Amino acid sequence: MNTHSFMGKTRGITAWGLLALAAALAVPSAEAQATTSTSKSSRAKTRKPPVDKGPAESRVERDKRLQRECKGKPNAGACEGYGG
């Protein structure tokens, strides 16, 4: 009995088996596709609650404050663009 021919057949069968297994795992089943498509369409869009900005000053308030505080100071640092 020639052991080389037996080992070659076994490797060939194993390689084809692994290839078939990989192909079966790569293709998603119809059942899995059906569940994902229904879950996307059945979801209701929800509105996000408004974001509370807290006690922070608005952009207009900040500009007015910097113009007032930086009057006569060098045009550098926080006063850049507001100094006179």
Tens of pLDDT, residues 38-68: 555 567 888 998 888 788 888 999 999 999 9
6 φ/ψ sector (left φ>0, alpha ψ -120 to 50, else beta): alpha
Q: What distance in Å separates the CA atoms of residue 81 and residue 67, rounded to the nearest whole number?
A: 9
Say if pTM beats, i.e. exceeds, 0.75.
no
Count of other CB atoms within 10 angstroms of residue 32: 9
pLDDT per position as a tens digit, 27-42: 766 555 555 555 555 6
Instruction: Mark out the alpha helices in the chain (DSSP H runs).
Output: 3-26, 30-42, 59-69
